Chain A
Amino acid sequence: MLDYNNVTKKKIMKTEKLILKMLALAIFISVSSCGEDYLEENPTTFVDPGRLVVDEEGAAIYLVGAYGAVQESVSSGTGAKSNEGFAVHWGTMATDEVVLPGWAGDRKLIFLQQVTSNNATVENIWNNLYFSLNKVNSAVDKISALTADQIDLDIRDTMVGEARFLRSTINFALVSAWENVPLIKNELADFANIELPSQATPEEVYEFIIDDLKFAEANLEAGQGGGRATKGAAQALLGKVYLQMTGFPLNQTDKFALAEVELQKVIDSGVYGLLQNYPEVFDLDNEQSKEMVFSIGMNGPGEREGGILSTFYGPNGNVNNGGGFGTCYVNASSVARYDDDDIRLLNNIAKHNANIWSPEEGMNNPVAWGNIDWQWRGWKWHASKPNDYTNDTPFDNPYIRYADVLLMYAEAQNGQGTLTQATLDFTVNALRDRARLEAGAVPAMVLASQSENADELLDERYRELIFEGWRRNDLIRFGKYEDAVLGINQSGWTTAGNPGPNYSDFRIRWPIPTAEMQLNPNLVQNPGY
């Protein structure tokens, strides 16, 4: 009995010892991973920007990111990423190009000239532009800081030139729409030191833009960039910026001459030219043709890089049949500016239903044009039938086309009183030649008085550049914005009404968003809001 107990006890003690050893081991294992490393994060799903931009390769990737930022803000909007673009909302929506229907949501208030400082669309666009600005500033700052041991300095300066070009597109948008905006010159360093900037004067913003564009012009190569900024793009935009400075609010008429110089350089470069047929300019095959001085790259569907051009503007009918979403209709009375035999009318205005007609029939078959004028829709980028775009369309967004350069060149000369018939012939009349469906239609423009020329140039810009996002800037620059708004008079249930009765001078610019005003006491609201 005793023996047995002893044996059992010994066995138990043996087991105990074994188990205690195991226990010790378990503790050892668990405590051995004891260093502070255990609590360090080592992300493998993203990269710290500061660690990326240390050589040419990293800088190049970061620069692409800056393009992405502009794509998401300055363009007409990215459907796949649900960003409301600047170009349609500022450039087109509150002009005589379109009317908005009653179901258009917050944005119909833009059309109706009823924007308040709480308008969510305006606030989103403001936010988007500043978010993009910081991303581009980050690219400028980080790439500029690279030294000769990290990167070839010429390559660096080219990259910085591209980034500064991109930055100027954002600042140009900001100063155009809000006039009095904070001028942010550098990226935010850390969240602990967020500045509450005051507004700069428009002059200061324009000076900064010009400075950026001059740097870009000096450091970029000539050529069609395929969506990348080039010397020609910088010159063309600089010309555009100078022209804009001649109108409201700066009214610096001395800038006509500077604009002419820059635009002349673009023309003389020989890089750019007009395509033969107007419709093919907007064709998917010609997204980065010689006519595109700078066109913002997009692609879809599915890559999350798509835009909205063929669905924001598109005929009646279902989107998958090549129709649009019914987000806006054309202002029918403005369409009268087109000659019936102007191919631009057929290409840009849809009078058919995409469920019934193919895009080709919609353009060429008068039988298809059964819709009443208040059912007409914008249609510049023709989606195929069928398609699977939804709101993720592949079309690149033209920013400055060579046609625009030609029109601006004529405008720059007219502003100085030096416009000649010869200039008209290789600018306006070159576009009309291209647009003419049959001989005798679309008569050539003949030199007239300075103000008559201006009116005609503005109308030509409508005909040529409709839906490309510049109409509001154009109208303001020519001093015709109020007239255009008051002139909108459309009936039919596809319009939410006419904006004229709501218009006052102060509505020429947008209000600073309330949310931003609340967070930054240094901001002063634009007058009237």
Chain B
Amino acid sequence: MNNLPKFKTESMITKKISYLKIKLFSATILSILFFNFAQAQSTITGTVTAEGGPLPAASVLVKDTSRGVITDFDGNFEITASENETLVISYLGFVPKEILVGTQTNLQIDLKEDNSTLEEVVIIGYGSSKRKDLTGSISSIKAEELEKVKTVSFEGALQSKAAGVQVVTSEGGPGAGFKIRVRGGTSITASSDPLYVIDGFAISGSGQSSSIGLGNSTTSPLASIDPSTIESIEVLKDASATAIYGSRGANGVIIITTKKGKKGRADINFETFTGVSVLANKVDLLTAQEFVDWRYEFTPWDPNNPNDQFGAAYRDQFGNNVDLRDPRILLTDWQDEISRSAIVKSNKVSISGGSDNSSYAASFSHLDQEGIIKTSDYERYNLNLRLDQNVSDKIKAGMNLNFGYQKRNGVVSAANENANGRAGIVTNSILFSPAQGLTRFDDAQYDDEGRLLSLRGGDIVNPNRTLEGNINKGKGVNAFGSVYLEYKIAEGIKFKSSIRGNVFNNKGQAYFSGDFGWGQFTNGRAYTSVAQGAGVITEQNLNYYKNFGDHRLNVTAVYEQQESEFEFVSLEYTGFELPGVNLDNLGSASENLPSRSDFIKSTLRSYLARVQYDYDNRFTLNLSGRYDGSSRFNAKNRYGFFPSAGVAWKISNEDFLKNNTTISTAKLRMSYGETGNNQVGSFRSLAQSQLSSYVFGGSNFITGVTVSSLASEELTWETTSQLDAGLVLGLFDNRVNLELDYYIKDTRDLLLEVPIVATSGFEFAFQNLGTLRNKGIEISLNTTNIETDNFTWTSNFNISFNQNKVLDLGGANEFFETAIGDNQITNDYIIRVGESLGSIYGVETNGVYNYSDFEEFDGLSNAEAADLIIQNGEAAGIPYYDVFYTLKAGTTTTAGVTQYRPGMPKYVDQNNDGVVNSDDNGIIGNTQPKHFGGFTNNFTYKNFDLSVLTSWVYGNDIYNKNRVRGGSQEIPFFNKLGFVRDRWTPTNSESDIPGIWGFGDGGFSGLANSSYIEDGSFLRIANITLGYKFPKELLQSLKIKSLRVYGSIDNVHVFTKYSGYDPDVSVGRNQLTPGLDSDSYPRSRAFRIGLNVGL
């Protein structure tokens, strides 16, 4: 008996072995050993459960002895103990329970999940670690959290959950992409998207284009993944964590681990939810009456021209205004017209389980989601499979597969521009006339019943017509798979070899009807594009793990190689004569426009190593280094080395804190390291030519080429160095967990398209120049506010402050970007030294010219001036706004504007030279928030659970480009945004909003102005979910393990001043034009009910 192995306590085991799998494995050995020592005292039986289900392989120990057993497959155990002994029941990830045996002989023990995250195992890339041993900053989201609030997309699951991670919706709509930034954007020309690692497979995370032809929609590269198959999401933020990903770690790394089977449990789960989405809010527009009133003002009655189509539209032949209740006037609320209550359905079946030597998990899910704009929908099938097998004591093998198929029907939103029939459905619904008048315009189109179909020769189209006639759809498959083989060479030494791969294939199709809008000029216009790609990664991983007394050492060395290919073909056809025949028979088109195709391949070879060392559970040191070679750079600059070091001091394990009742955990950590970025696209270091064709003899197209880029042998990695200091504090028995991080992150040798003198022949040279800085603070606070047997209340709060600043642009001071959305405005974003990315550039508005600015109104009261201005118009027989006046000497003028009247917009003369021109342009807004975060509260009462998610963003601007056309007052046909109702008029002269013609003739055209900039701050109640778990007794009689029903509301309410659909918006694919709203998809509020059944 005295020669027993020194397996003393559960905690000792935990201390020694850091891998969950190994722990389970040794627990099994433990059980075999312990069974031999059962002593002849009274026999106690019992069942250990967790969340209502049996918990196999839980450890049951008699306190302060070496007697113990392991629960069997059904959670049952049998142990001998005397009455005054205490049983300790524990299972990793659950709060251990101690029970005095007393007189009980049959125990029912329910273990609660451990809310303290410190014991949790965190996936850190090429391995895992306990949270308490981390030296780096890593946010984790576990399955339990994902389970509570079911989201449709992976990004939705991440949104506002992790400090330092900003998740911004792109243009919205079903299946639309997101922009994710971890601690701000680190790059200008190269990508700022994080690296995603799905079960070890790394993919770079830029949104993929999902619309062709006109739109700018994106889908997430992870769209095919069902978030409910995810076991955990880890976001690696600082260099100590990300440097192991070397050349691709600079933008943060998001590791996604899918679920695997649990040993000893066979679970069959059925999950379903269904719900309905409605338009969360409408954009404020002029009502039909307000629109018509605007028209009356725009076109005063001209008795000399009573047949003028335009003036007569809403008047009778005597010039009297028509009552809009007149049945000849057709009134339509186009926002209502295009939207609907949309149904979402989701079903999932999963099976998982395992024995001592194998585990399996499989799931199949189907999501069918309608969009709130008619005809748009999104459908996803997902199959997930994972197998692990212990072949022998020494060999383990496994594989997994994640296969997704998605289909989407859509509408054009986020259109590149908003005129000439190319506008998206949303812009059409905002601008299309809400009141069809009495006249038929020459350049408008009508249907057989006289309904208006398009205005201004197809510039803007009846939204219903667009929905009926245009097609915009896509489908694709995306599959990830991997196999691994692990060999235990000797005690503590493991070798693992893995091969991983992915394939994807996406097809996009769009058809623009030949009957109206853009397609009418060409009798229909069809696009088809097919993109496909594949990647293969091989990884050889050697791991050494050893304890020497107080020293713990864990060393990992990896050799990895990967290649990826991408190719696409894009076709465009025009001229479709056969009714109803278009996309599916491109051969029927009369004209085949030039097709395009592309092929890109890139490779990466890497050597990496990591040393984790812990002394006495007090000091932890973590060193890592990665040596990466990328095909994207020339041979002599191909390899980069990315080291990192992190230290942690677990103060709470020092003697002076060991028995502190307040502070249960305290850890200080500090890290420094370097990571890289090679996300610049292929071939950038090579001399390149581009097509530069020409037409001879009038129409003979001859292909030519010309130089487009010179070889850049010097091109190499963009490097980000990051310093991070963090504090982890657990108070009151870890009921309060605080994690605080400060970081400063400098990206140097930016892979930058540096502006160079035009006389060189190039606009930009691609070089490693320039520096960008992000610094910030992140705080996350997890608290258990109340914990009683029946009631618990836990909170999660996180807030992030990030400041982004361009420090150097390699000699240049600034350069510009043009955002999509309007083909007249250029250079509306600026990248300037000393400013942050996402700065909007333009001219500052300064209200309007008013009576007091003009000589003619000198000395008149506003009422007298109003009378005069109207009289002057009537006297001249023209609208009042066509009469111009003399500005008083010294009044600021606008370049390009030669005549003035009250109500015209005024601008700020920044340089005080009396005239506002391009010298007065400046930064008029910034889209970077001052802070953002999330606040989640979870309550449980008996079998009820309630969670409330809120999120916010504060201090950012949105560039609402919808206001350009939605606020323009020079085109009378179109409806206008609601703010126009408060415009300047002769009698409303206190208004700051320009009057009729607005920015049209008084405008500083070609530039953005500050009236397009809005405060984007918001506070959102993002989700409320109320669930109920049926009690065990009831379930036992039904022979099911678990049953939960829940109801959920998404996007409950948004508190914001923003006038568009939603302030959580960033339209377009250009990362340098964030915070843009143009033609974005309206947002929904969704009501869902769901059911989870465990069999």
Min CB distance, B789 to chain A, in Å? Answer: 49
Which one of B572, B605, B761, B1006 has the highest number of Cβ atoms from chain A below 10 Å of its Cβ? B761
Taking a contact as CB atoms under 8 Å apart, the answer to whether B695 and A49 are in contact is no
A-chain residues with CB within 8 Å of residue B766 when the two chains form the complex:
191
Interface check A108, CB cutoff 8 A: yes
Taking a contact as CB atoms under 8 Å apart, the answer to whether B391 and A19 are in contact is yes
Query: A497 vs B443: C-alpha distance in the bound complex, in angstroms?
Result: 28
Taking a contact as CB atoms under 8 Å apart, the answer to whether B694 and A41 are in contact is no
Could you give, for residues 168-212 of chain A, a 1 whenever the CB lies within 8 Å of some chain B CB and a 0 otherwise?
000000000000001010011111101111000000000000000
B-chain residues with CB within 8 Å of residue A227 when the two chains form the complex:
694-698
CB within 8 Å of A: which of B976-1004?
Answer: 1000-1001, 1003
Taking a contact as CB atoms under 8 Å apart, the answer to whether B704 and A49 are in contact is no
Min CB distance, B121 to chain A, in Å? Answer: 26
Query: A41 vs B391: C-alpha distance in the bound complex, in angstroms?
Result: 41
Query: A29 vs B705: C-alpha distance in the bound complex, in angstroms?
Result: 40
A-chain residues with CB within 8 Å of residue B705 when the two chains form the complex:
46-47, 49, 52, 61-62, 64-65
Taking a contact as CB atoms under 8 Å apart, the answer to whether A304 and B1005 are in contact is no
Give the contact stretch, choosing among B107-115, B168-176, B272-280, B917-925. B917-925
Could you give, for residues 53-89 of chain A, a 1 whenever the CB lies within 8 Å of some chain B CB and a 0 otherwise?
0000000011111111101100000000000000000
Taking a contact as CB atoms under 8 Å apart, the answer to whether B395 and A16 are in contact is yes
Taking a contact as CB atoms under 8 Å apart, the answer to whether B521 and A320 are in contact is yes
B-chain residues with CB within 8 Å of residue A192 when the two chains form the complex:
714
Taking a contact as CB atoms under 8 Å apart, the answer to whether B699 and A106 are in contact is no
Taking a contact as CB atoms under 8 Å apart, the answer to whether A41 and B686 are in contact is yes
Chain B residue with Cβ nearest A498: B898
Taking a contact as CB atoms under 8 Å apart, the answer to whether A138 and B497 are in contact is no
B-chain residues with CB within 8 Å of residue A119 when the two chains form the complex:
918
Min CB distance, B961 to chain A, in Å? Answer: 16
Taking a contact as CB atoms under 8 Å apart, the answer to whether A386 and B521 are in contact is yes
Min CB distance, B146 to chain A, in Å? Answer: 33
B-chain residues with CB within 8 Å of residue A182 when the two chains form the complex:
759
Taking a contact as CB atoms under 8 Å apart, the answer to whether A131 and B758 are in contact is yes
Chain B residue with Cβ nearest A58: B705
The residue from A191, A388, A519 contacting B522, defined by CB atoms under 8 A apart: A388
Taking a contact as CB atoms under 8 Å apart, the answer to whether A302 and B703 are in contact is no
The residue from A20, A65, A304 contacting B689, defined by CB atoms under 8 A apart: A65
Taking a contact as CB atoms under 8 Å apart, the answer to whether A114 and B896 are in contact is yes
Which one of B632, B702, B1003, B1007 has the highest number of Cβ atoms from chain A below 10 Å of its Cβ? B702
Could you give, for residues 859-883 of chain B, a 1 whenever the CB lies within 8 Å of some chain A CB and a 0 otherwise?
0000000000000000000000010
Min CB distance, A35 to chain B, in Å? Answer: 10
Min CB distance, A377 to chain B, in Å? Answer: 16
Min CB distance, B535 to chain A, in Å? Answer: 14
Give the contact stretch, choosing among A97-105, A244-252, A419-427, A455-463. A97-105
Taking a contact as CB atoms under 8 Å apart, the answer to whether B457 and A320 are in contact is yes
Taking a contact as CB atoms under 8 Å apart, the answer to whether B397 and A19 are in contact is yes
Also in contact, A27 and B707, with CB within 8 A (given A48-B688, A103-B1000, A114-B896):
no
Taking a contact as CB atoms under 8 Å apart, the answer to whether A497 and B897 are in contact is yes
CB within 8 Å of B: which of A482-523?
Answer: 493, 496-498, 501, 513, 515-516, 518-520
Also in contact, A30 and B538, with CB within 8 A (given A188-B710, A304-B594, A519-B757):
yes
Interface check A428, CB cutoff 8 A: no
B-chain residues with CB within 8 Å of residue A149 when the two chains form the complex:
none
A-chain residues with CB within 8 Å of residue B635 when the two chains form the complex:
36, 39-40
The residue from A127, A190, A356, A396 contacting B758, defined by CB atoms under 8 A apart: A127
Query: A69 vs B692: C-alpha distance in the bound complex, in angstroms?
Result: 7
Could you give, for residues 278-302 of chain A, a 1 whenever the CB lies within 8 Å of some chain B CB and a 0 otherwise?
0000001001100000000111011
B-chain residues with CB within 8 Å of residue A15 when the two chains form the complex:
391-392, 395
Taking a contact as CB atoms under 8 Å apart, the answer to whether B698 and A297 are in contact is yes
Chain B residue with Cβ nearest A64: B704
Also in contact, A287 and B487, with CB within 8 A (given A39-B629, A105-B1006):
no
A-chain residues with CB within 8 Å of residue B605 when the two chains form the complex:
38-39
Could you give, for residues 372-394 of chain B, a 1 whenever the CB lies within 8 Å of some chain A CB and a 0 otherwise?
00000000000000000001101
Min CB distance, B918 to chain A, in Å? Answer: 4
Interface check B11, CB cutoff 8 A: no
Which one of A44, A49, A317, A496 has the highest number of Cβ atoms from chain B below 10 Å of its Cβ? A49
User: How many residues of chain B get a CB closer than 8 Å to chain A's CBs?
Assistant: 108
Query: A130 vs B761: C-alpha distance in the bound complex, in angstroms?
Result: 5
Taking a contact as CB atoms under 8 Å apart, the answer to whether A191 and B767 are in contact is yes
Query: A46 vs B522: C-alpha distance in the bound complex, in angstroms?
Result: 31
Query: A375 vs B184: C-alpha distance in the bound complex, in angstroms?
Result: 52
Taking a contact as CB atoms under 8 Å apart, the answer to whether B712 and A191 are in contact is yes
Taking a contact as CB atoms under 8 Å apart, the answer to whether B689 and A49 are in contact is yes
Interface check A387, CB cutoff 8 A: yes
Also in contact, A519 and B697, with CB within 8 A (given A30-B540, A61-B703):
no
Also in contact, A118 and B458, with CB within 8 A (given A68-B704, A288-B698):
no
Query: A396 vs B696: C-alpha distance in the bound complex, in angstroms?
Result: 9
Chain A residue with Cβ nearest B525: A388
Interface check B682, CB cutoff 8 A: yes
Taking a contact as CB atoms under 8 Å apart, the answer to whether B694 and A64 are in contact is yes
Taking a contact as CB atoms under 8 Å apart, the answer to whether B693 and A68 are in contact is yes
The residue from B442, B443, B687, B921 contacting A49, defined by CB atoms under 8 A apart: B687
CB within 8 Å of A: which of B693-724?
Answer: 693-699, 701-708, 710-712, 714
Interface check B561, CB cutoff 8 A: yes
Taking a contact as CB atoms under 8 Å apart, the answer to whether B442 and A356 are in contact is yes
Query: A12 vs B357: C-alpha distance in the bound complex, in angstroms?
Result: 13
Also in contact, A320 and B758, with CB within 8 A (given A62-B704, A228-B696, A355-B457):
no
B-chain residues with CB within 8 Å of residue A114 when the two chains form the complex:
895-896, 917
Also in contact, A62 and B706, with CB within 8 A (given A16-B395, A105-B1006, A131-B758):
yes
B-chain residues with CB within 8 Å of residue A118 when the two chains form the complex:
917-919, 921
Taking a contact as CB atoms under 8 Å apart, the answer to whether B688 and A116 are in contact is no
Chain B residue with Cβ nearest A501: B898
The residue from A29, A41, A135, A305 contacting B632, defined by CB atoms under 8 A apart: A41
Min CB distance, A106 to chain B, in Å? Answer: 4
Taking a contact as CB atoms under 8 Å apart, the answer to whether A63 and B704 are in contact is yes
Taking a contact as CB atoms under 8 Å apart, the answer to whether B521 and A388 are in contact is yes
Taking a contact as CB atoms under 8 Å apart, the answer to whether B896 and A116 are in contact is no
Taking a contact as CB atoms under 8 Å apart, the answer to whether A102 and B704 are in contact is no
Chain B residue with Cβ nearest A287: B698
Could you give, for residues 915-955 of chain B, a 1 whenever the CB lies within 8 Å of some chain A CB and a 0 otherwise?
00111010000000000000000000000000000000000
Could you give, for residues 1049-1067 of chain B, a 1 whenever the CB lies within 8 Å of some chain A CB and a 0 otherwise?
0000000000000000000
Could you give, for residues 619-639 of chain B, a 1 whenever the CB lies within 8 Å of some chain A CB and a 0 otherwise?
000000000011110010010
Taking a contact as CB atoms under 8 Å apart, the answer to whether B711 and A190 are in contact is yes
The residue from B574, B599, B603 contacting A45, defined by CB atoms under 8 A apart: B599
Also in contact, A65 and B688, with CB within 8 A (given A188-B710, A390-B420):
no
Taking a contact as CB atoms under 8 Å apart, the answer to whether A188 and B760 are in contact is yes
Give 5 pairs: A residue, B residue, CB < 8 Å, sorted on A. Answer: A19-B397, A39-B631, A71-B694, A127-B758, A303-B695
Q: Chain A residues in contact with chain B, CB under 8 A?
A: 12-13, 15-16, 19-20, 22-23, 26-27, 29-31, 33, 36, 38-50, 52, 61-69, 71-72, 102-109, 112, 114, 116, 118-120, 126-127, 130-131, 133-135, 137-139, 182, 184, 187-192, 194-197, 226-228, 284, 287-288, 297-299, 301-305, 317-321, 355-356, 386-390, 394, 396, 493, 496-498, 501, 513, 515-516, 518-520
Rank and list the top 9 A-B pairs by shortest CB-CB distance, nearest first.
A134-B761, A497-B898, A64-B704, A68-B692, A65-B706, A318-B457, A30-B538, A118-B918, A297-B695
Known: A20-B395, A64-B693. 15 other contacts (CB 8 A): A12-B392, A19-B485, A40-B635, A45-B600, A46-B690, A50-B687, A108-B896, A135-B707, A138-B706, A182-B759, A191-B756, A288-B697, A305-B701, A388-B521, A519-B756
Q: Chain B residues in contact with chain A, CB under 8 A?
A: 391-392, 394-395, 397, 420, 442-443, 456-458, 485, 487, 495, 497, 499, 520-523, 538, 540, 559, 561, 563, 572, 574, 591, 593-594, 598-605, 629-632, 635, 638, 682-683, 685-699, 701-708, 710-712, 714, 755-763, 765-767, 811-813, 824, 826-827, 882, 895-899, 917-919, 921, 970, 1000-1001, 1003, 1005-1007
